[in-house]
Amino acid sequence: QEAEEAKLKETMSAAPTKEGLIAVILNRLNHPFTPKSMLWATVLDRAGPQWDEDNVRVDLPYIRRAVSVLTFVHQDTGHIRLASRYTAVCVFNIPMKVQDFSNDVYLTCKLLGTFRNWFHTMEGYFYSDEEQSYYQTLQDMLTQVIAFLEDIDEEDLEEKDKEVAEEMARQKAEEQAGKEVEEGEEQAEEAK
């Protein structure tokens, strides 16, 4: 868990690459899709071939992309910049050099909204109580995250980014001060 968070902070602090976005969003450790992939395969098998409202084939990679973005933002709304950049660059093929946060958020809303509309038609294919519970949890998550995306305020995000940067700088300063104290103690021991 700590290694994953350190990797995430490193990626967030550096200018993300397409490969970095895929690693952080789609291929992250403890990905919430992984334990449910068999359930998704079963549901798709029960339902037969599926297409969304944009006539895009719905398969396991399609679902994994949507669930990846959804759960990443749901985990921490501060992840919206990475999640929306991933959506723009890796799902909608917007060039990495095109930096338009509001468009990235719009595309993320489109991805999740289209997924939600398709997912809503699938309720009858989640049979057991456990499957229905998962279905409802995901529906609730979609509602919350889409509402957040629709009301997003870039200025609020910039303020949060500033707070995160200040906190990281403070932690780094504390670590450095701790190292200097340790080094001073070691030198005092050696002097004895």
pLDDT, residue 146, reads: 95
Reported as a pLDDT band with limits 50, 70 and 90, residue 13 is low
pLDDT > 90: what percent of the chain?
52
pTM over 0.85: no
What pLDDT score was predicted for residue 1? 55
| Mean pLDDT, range 88-99, rounded to an integer | 91
Q: Which residue has the higher pLDDT, 49 or 29?
A: 49
The per-residue pLDDT for 134 is 96
Angle in degrees, 0-180, between the axes of helices 60-75 and 37-47, rounded to the nearest 10: 130
For 104-131, what is the mean pLDDT?
Answer: 96
Q: Which residue has the tokens 């009301």?
A: 151
d(CA 72, CA 54): 24
pLDDT band at 175; cut points 50, 70, 90? confident
Q: Which residues contact 143 (CB under 8 A, 6 or more apart)?
A: 116
- pLDDT mean over 176-190: 69
Element spanning 50, H or E: strand 50-51
Residue 170 has a pLDDT of: 74
Give me the pLDDT at residue 9, please: 59
The contacts of residue 181 (CB under 8 Å, 6+ apart) are: none
